[in-house]
Structure 1
Amino acid sequence: MTDALSVVSQLRDLASEPQNREAIVQDQGCLPGLVLFLDHKNPEVLFATLQTLRYLAEFSPNIPNMKNELGMMVSLENLMESKGMSVDITNLAQEVYEILSARANPIPRTAQQERRKKSQFFINSSNNKAKSVTLHIQGLDSTTQRGLCEEALLKVKGVISFTFQMASRRCTVRIRSDLPTESLASAIAATKVLSAQQVVKNESGEEVLIPLNPCGVKVQENSALPDYLPEEESPERGVDRAISRTTAKEDSSGSWLNSAASFLSKTFYW
């Protein structure tokens, strides 16, 4: 059964990928639903919601829509002023509020708040949630090179699965959220014949390749091969999909994002 925490956690993981942020805010159900979650009684739901909003605000064209969303700023102010909330929640609410309001004179922070500021938002970096990374792999021209790439990726601790699109020299890798992308590049570079760049979408929606520096990145290897096999090669028609989901596949009822938006917009009580 779908619940608030699982939905907002999935949405947060989607929002952590830059190419998804515009689509989430443009969806008619997601943003209003996130505002509703700002009044949730569960601190975990509140924190995950604020993390999601913080990710979405990283895409600057989203800010006007987020700021003008009914109830957004009022709910953030309420969290900032709440006496019963944890420091993590009030700090993050204040950070999102300041970004959306573009305050010239931010609300002063205490020394303790400043010390916690850098770590609070990325507190989920140590959890077991997965994220997807798309790589463009130079040298991925044959089944031999593909085999080398598979062996390299299977050795990296934190890799969950991967899918190849050989025609475009792409590999989509699902990894733990706390695994640096550079670790993948380092493992691939160790083959001596392959190199990797990350594929992301810029603010105009165009795909760009980001160089990854594999030098000096320590790769933590699996002590034994994991008990799973790499996924089959995926069809090319899925490559340009705007939303890159980290879990849950599409079913006959529609995309996961639509299901999440529907849940968010219809859930007015907890």
Structure 2
Amino acid sequence: MVDALSVVTQLRDLASEPQNRETIVQDQGCLPGLVLFLDHKDPQVLFATLQTLRYLAELPQNVNTMKNELGMMVSLEALMEKSGLGVDITELAREVHRVLNTEAFRTPEQQKKRSKPQFFINSTNKKAKTVTLHVQGMDGTDQRGVCEEALLKVKGVISFTFQLALKRCTVRVRADVPTESLASAIAATKVLVAQQVVKNETGEEVLIPLSTAEVPIEENSHLPDYLPEDESPEKEMDRAISRTGAKQESSGSWLNTAASFLTKTFYW
């Protein structure tokens, strides 16, 4: 059954791939639907919607369209001021609002100076770290979903992206979260095993086994803690949540499904 959470989650995954961002924003149903989702009562829908908008705003030519979409800025400001929401939602709403306001005033030359994508980045924040994991057994989207559920249980996880073709998962966590706790959570699935990807002194990537024995895992009671990301010291990897197989066909099909769902739900 298609519902709001499944639609916005799929849109988020599609938006994480740069080649889809212009299409999503230009679609007549998706952007207005995302604006309406900003008033949704489910915090998971709110968080996924804000993640989607943040991805879409990475494409400079999307910014003015997004900023001028009816209700966009007003809804973001309402979330920024609303009490009772988790800090992750409030801060992410503030981040999207800031990007839409500042990106619109960048010159083309300034845009070129942005050498790499910045997702939830705040250079003043030094409380987070990036960990790259090789996840044995993650052979498709079903196993990716199992890995997602495992990581979401770990308190301190901020965000994560996948490269299914390489069986890689790049995780942003609080600096005080042991890498072993991520491996323990993944090992608890009984079908996946994680090793850390690091570079040796010659610059080659090597896999480091992680202990999963008697490593305490502090679990989330709700959504993951949010922290703005600082610049990763690691070489920037493909940040998209990979969708292997018939990529273009599946993306187009899901975009049509999302647009249809939004149109039927909100009658525009």
Q: 2:166 aligns with which of 172, 181, 184?
A: 184
Q: Which amino acid is 2:92 matched to? A: L
TM score, norm. by length of structure 2: 0.52
Structure 1 position 13 matched with structure 2 position 51: no
Q: CA deviation at 1:118?
A: 6.3
> Per the alignment, do residues 160 and 89 of structure 1 end up closer, same or farther by CA in structure 2, a change over 3 Å counting?
same
> 1:198 is matched with which residue?
none
Counterpart Cα distance in 2 of 1:179 and 1:215: 22
Q: Deviations over 1:35-82 (max 9, x none)?
A: 010000111100000000001111111101100111000000000010
- Secondary structure of 2:139's aligned partner: strand
> 2:154 is matched with which residue?
none
Counterpart Cα distance in 1 of 2:126 and 2:83: 18
Q: Is the 8 A contact 1:76 1:94 kept in 2?
A: yes
Q: Is the 8 A contact 1:158 1:179 kept in 2?
A: no
> 1:81 is matched with which residue?
81
> Per the alignment, do residues 2 and 48 of structure 1 end up closer, same or farther by CA in structure 2, a change over 3 Å counting?
same
Q: CA deviation at 1:156?
A: 5.3
Structure 1 position 97 matched with structure 2 position 97: yes
> 1:216 is matched with which residue?
205
Moved more, 4-13 or 257-266: 257-266
> 1:210 is matched with which residue?
none
Structure 1 position 263 matched with structure 2 position 261: yes
Moved more, 43-52 or 17-26: 17-26
Aligned length: 168
Q: CA deviation at 1:117?
A: 8.8
Q: Which amino acid is 2:258 matched to? A: A
Counterpart Cα distance in 1 of 2:46 and 2:167: 35
> 2:139 is matched with which residue?
160
> Per the alignment, do residues 30 and 83 of structure 1 end up closer, same or farther by CA in structure 2, a change over 3 Å counting?
same
> Per the alignment, do residues 99 and 244 of structure 1 end up closer, same or farther by CA in structure 2, a change over 3 Å counting?
farther
> Per the alignment, do residues 180 and 268 of structure 1 end up closer, same or farther by CA in structure 2, a change over 3 Å counting?
closer
Identity of aligned residues (%): 60
Q: Deviations over 1:227-248 (max 9, x none)?
A: xxxxxxx7xxx67x3x763xxx
Match runs of 1:1-270 below 5 Å:
1-102=1-102, 157-161=136-140, 178=160, 181=163, 184=166, 215-218=204-207, 241=248, 245=251, 255-268=253-266
Q: CA deviation at 1:30?
A: 0.5
Q: CA deviation at 1:27?
A: 1.0
Q: Is the 8 A contact 1:32 1:265 kept in 2?
A: no
> Per the alignment, do residues 117 and 76 of structure 1 end up closer, same or farther by CA in structure 2, a change over 3 Å counting?
farther
Q: Is the 8 A contact 2:38 2:75 kept in 1?
A: yes
TM score, norm. by length of structure 1: 0.51
Q: Is the 8 A contact 2:135 2:167 kept in 1?
A: no
Indicate the structure (1 or 2) with the bigger Cα radius of gyration.
1
Counterpart Cα distance in 2 of 1:85 and 1:13: 23
Q: Which amino acid is 2:68 matched to? A: N
Q: Is the 8 A contact 2:21 2:56 kept in 1?
A: yes
- Secondary structure of 1:40's aligned partner: coil
Q: Which amino acid is 2:204 matched to? A: C
Counterpart Cα distance in 1 of 2:161 and 2:70: 36
